[in-house]
Chain A
């Protein structure tokens, strides 16, 4: 069955290094979301793309985070430079909103990032 895939599943890096996380949305879905999950903050929306265009990145720290969709099958979230406080699980989700319907989002398995 169709699933959102994310790579890598786990990443350990040192402070100051660049981190790139990748997401492949479900084929045909035109919306992509990036979330961050931590014990303290729970699930936070970082960015939202529709038809590959960023429509909302208000939840993302602008100085070090960037999100892109080079094509319809790939979304990337980059952190440069990384800091220990960025340690979290990062989820990608995709969806296909219907007219007047609720917004179902399908989540990937996440990338667990540890910055030392």
Chain B
């Protein structure tokens, strides 16, 4: 069975400092992995996806994530946080090309001026 664990419910960083949002997954098959972002009162927007190609995935707005099979991790990073990055971030897994997305519980990112 698939599952996703987001290790931090809240992360607070200062503007201009690096961002690290942690995600571990469990999957019986080759997983597809995604990060989605949700700004307040908005829908979810796809940041990036991993689908068994390059293990380092670059997404929008300067975010990237690295797939580490040995650690079953897919952490999201950004070198320098911007105030507009404040939002909730969801790590998501699906098995291969399955339509079923399994969402993590979310990490709320706060960016301090």
Residue with the highest number of chain A CB atoms closer than 10 Å, among B43, B44, B94: B43
Closest to A95 in B: B99
| A104→B106 contact, CB < 8 A | no
Cα–Cα, bound, A48→B100 (Å)? 9
- Tell me the chain A residues, 59-116 only, with Cβ under 8 Å from chain B: 91, 93, 95, 97, 100-110, 112
Q: Interface size bucket, A side? A: 20 to 34
Contact of A42 among B41, B97, B98, B105 (CB under 8 A): B105
- Chain B: residues with Cβ within 8 Å of the partner, total of 22
Judged by a CB distance under 8 angstroms, whether A27 is at the interface is no
Contact with B along A22-43 (1 / 0, CB 8 A): 0000000001010000000011
Q: A100-B97, A103-B97, A106-B46 are in contact. List 13 more A-B contacts (CB 8 A).
A: A31-B99, A33-B99, A43-B90, A43-B103, A45-B101, A48-B99, A95-B99, A101-B51, A101-B97, A102-B97, A104-B34, A104-B49, A109-B41
